[in-house]
Amino acid sequence: MATINGAALMARSLKEQGVDYMFGIVGFPVQGVASAAQDAGIEFIGMRNEQAASYAAHAAGYLTGRPQACLTVSGPGVIHAFAGLANAQQNCWPMILIGGASPIYQNGMGAFQEERQVELATPYCKYAHAIEHTSRIPFYVAEAVRNSLYGRPGAAYLDFPDDIIRGEVDESEVVSANRVGDPPRTLADPEAVEEALSVLESAERPLVIVGKGMAWSRAEDEVRAFMERTQLPFLASPMGKGILPDDDPLSVGAARSTALREADVVFLMGARLNWIMHFGLPPRFSENVRVIQLDIAQEEIGRNVAPEVALVGDGKAVTQQLNTALTNRQWFYPAETEWRATLQAKASENAEAVKPMIDDDSSPTNYYRAFRDIEDWLPDDAIIIGEGANTMDIGRTQMLNRRARHRLDAGTYGTMGVGLGFAIAAAVTNPDKPIVSVQGDSAFGFSGMELETMVRYNLPVKLIVLNNGGIGGGVGPLEKGRRVPPNILTYGARYEGMLEALGGKGMYVSDPADLRSALDEVMEHDGPAMINVPLNPRAGRKPQKFGWLTT
């Protein structure tokens, strides 16, 4: 019978498990794995840094609904990719990191790039294992996929030693594995469903928080039906944006702080009470707030705030239960309430506070003026990648989403440097959609060489760098001989020239009056393009009532 080597068996096993994309950097001992992946029909994207490759892999997993792969060399290559492994785990996005390793027979001898990779990977993922026998590769791939995909999604790691990669086995000796199916959609306790609706009916100041867990479960249709039926005000988490349109009349995103602080009942739909939601604690929430919590993971229930009702199950399935239960109830939240009036008044006040910045045509420009043209230009079906401190935070309020899974940003882990990897993943998995990455200059710098990857694969990503010459904020040009503050970057750096030199299109737009025409021009370009926009280095957000990490 025919024989097969480890590289080909790994590629075949991944493809059979629904892995269609592999991001990575080849070298010893994984050169043959990437080629075998291409032979098996997996699209291999060669990146410039393992961190960016691992970021791309788990963004692709989120966007496709199946874990996708990152391939690295042994030792430092694996360790570089741990950034993405940890980010995937914290973001609850699926991925499989495949790390080359020194030969098993050299373990403990000081082999080339020998490292305790499984041990080091374990804290950052749901499943980590070394492959000890070539014949068992399909088994370990299936285990990695199952653990990554089922329950709360996350990361998996497979250690792939050189002698296993090169090892050959007779096809008759291969331990086969069935394809891991889509995760079962678990249901909540029906009594808890009825109780949750009763609590919502009793609320004077209700608020629904829609999180990215609902986006992952593909629950947008069910959530929209629930909101249309109940007419409850809602707030989207950063990557819950688009499950319901940001410009929906029920959205209270423009009055976020007030909505959180004064709500008497909060319904968490696939969102967590972590730092992004200020832990659910005063002063950002009411001391006596009542919580209904919907989550796929039992261990998340009651974190930081004990819920009055717990709905444990798949977001799509549980929302279907809620919608079914609503057919027996005549209740919906009234259109005219003091609560709605309070939220609308605060939204109007916030809009007035930023209007002078939106209308400010001075040069160098500010964030809000730049976002005015970007928002007007953005196609409704664009996948938006936001990254940077002020750039990301302000962009969340100024760039609207109307479709689920069309917003990617630093997420739960707050990781800077994800932007270009995410943009590459979005472009590869969604070749029919506009991909727009808006970054600060600091965020861009983490993975700037991935511009070459975009050019090499002719990925039509449109990049906008809002450049204030610093981390958080700049000071402008420095006098010669002056000590350089720790947060300062080169003011006016011509990052668009990097893309031009690599074969893409770059534009430097210093006058805000020219921004809109430049945006139209880069959108018409059929490859990667960048607009570098110098900002007033002291431009920032509108004044905030609370510090950004206030509990």
What band does 547 get if pLDDT is binned at 50, 70 and 90? low
Q: Are 55 and 85 in contact (CB under 8 A)?
A: no
Asked if residue 480 has pLDDT above 90, the reply is: no
Integer Cα distance of 248 and 251 in angstroms:
5
What band does 478 get if pLDDT is binned at 50, 70 and 90? confident
pLDDT digit string (tens) for 383-394?
Answer: 999 999 899 999
pLDDT digit string (tens) for 239-260?
Answer: 999 999 999 999 999 999 999 9
Q: Which residues pair with 107 in a beta bridge?
A: none
The pLDDT, as a whole number, for residue 310 is: 98
pLDDT digit string (tens) for 164-177?
Answer: 999 999 999 999 99
Q: Which two tokens stand for residue 99?
A: 């790390």
Mean pLDDT of the chain: 95
Residues near 79 by Cβ (< 8 Å), separated by ≥ 6?
115, 120
**Distances, alpha carbon 61 to alpha carbons 19, 69, 295, 503, in Å:** 9, 8, 20, 29
Average pLDDT over residues 522-533: 97
Asked if residue 476 has pLDDT above 80, the reply is: no
Q: Are 242 and 406 in contact (CB under 8 A)?
A: yes
Average pLDDT over residues 518-536: 97
Q: Are 463 and 437 in contact (CB under 8 A)?
A: yes
Q: Which two tokens stand for residue 306?
A: 């004990």
What band does 428 get if pLDDT is binned at 50, 70 and 90? very high
The pLDDT, as a whole number, for residue 549 is: 63
Higher-pLDDT residue of 484 and 210 is: 210
Task: Return the closest-CA partner of residue 394 out of 183, 220, 201, 535.
Answer: 535
The pLDDT, as a whole number, for residue 331 is: 92
Identify whether 364 is preceded by a cis peptide bond (ω within 30 of 0): yes
Average pLDDT over residues 55-78: 98
Q: Are 163 and 107 in contact (CB under 8 A)?
A: no
| Torsional sign, CA 101, 103, 105, 108 | negative
Looking at the chain, the whole-number percentage of residues with pLDDT higher than 90 is: 91
The pLDDT, as a whole number, for residue 108 is: 85
Average pLDDT over residues 222-251: 97
What band does 545 get if pLDDT is binned at 50, 70 and 90? low
Integer Cα distance of 466 and 396 in angstroms:
14
Task: Return the closest-CA partner of residue 87 out of 147, 24, 153.
Answer: 153
Q: Are 89 and 125 in contact (CB under 8 A)?
A: yes
Average pLDDT over residues 273-301: 96
